Structure 1
């Protein structure tokens, strides 16, 4: 069976894109709720956030972990892990402005970790 070769830089770029989608989701949800309170419930459903965190965890563990194996630098994984922790912590907070700010900070930290990881591989 042939081994699947995935470039760590590609995984990091995907992680950055997913982080960007998360920021758009967070901002759109806040605006959506402010404009149309009844329709905003779909975007604020906890399963959306839980699945998003699981996807972020999988991409983070695989991409950042593989980066450590390839280039040996811990800083990208450390920053990305901090971002994942902040994102997970935001899920434990009541929904509102505070949790949105923490989620966005976590996503930006995770994206920074992926970007540093991608640059270290090149």
Structure 2
């Protein structure tokens, strides 16, 4: 059991990094497809996708980085990831478009950095 927790945390950190990359891809593809080609606005700009992404990112970061912070007693991964989640939450407060994409990309970049730091300190 003692070895299971670090294994789960490591997997969750990797899932968090993957989700961050997918989120950036979604933002960039959304801007290109909707603004450039006028395609997919109904699906790509649906606020439910962004709320669900924030909830998922919060859960994954909370579990992985929370367990990591308890085990390695370093605050940096936690602070970096929570700052990123704050940017992602701020992106929900602005309208769809460039500002939302910029805030989200900054946020997911910081969340991914928090997961990487967490893996490094394992």
Q: Same fold (TM over 0.5)?
A: yes
Secondary structure of 2:51's aligned partner: helix
The C-alpha deviation readout for 1:56-97, integer Å capped at 9, x for no partner, is 000010011000111111100100000000000011101111
Gapped regions of structure 1 (runs ≥ 5): none
The C-alpha deviation readout for 1:28-65, integer Å capped at 9, x for no partner, is 10011024425222111010111111100000100110
Secondary structure of 1:85's aligned partner: helix
Gapped regions of structure 2 (runs ≥ 5): none
The 1-side partners of 2:111 and 2:89 are apart by 12
Q: How does 1:44-83 map to 2 (within 5 A)?
A: 44-83=45-84
Runs of 4+ with >4 A deviation: none
Question: RMSD of aligned C-alpha atoms?
Answer: 1.7
Report the TM-score when normalising by structure 2. Answer: 0.92
Number of paired residues? 120
Q: Residue 13 of structure 2 contacts residue 64 of structure 2 at CA under 8 Å; is this kept in 1?
A: yes
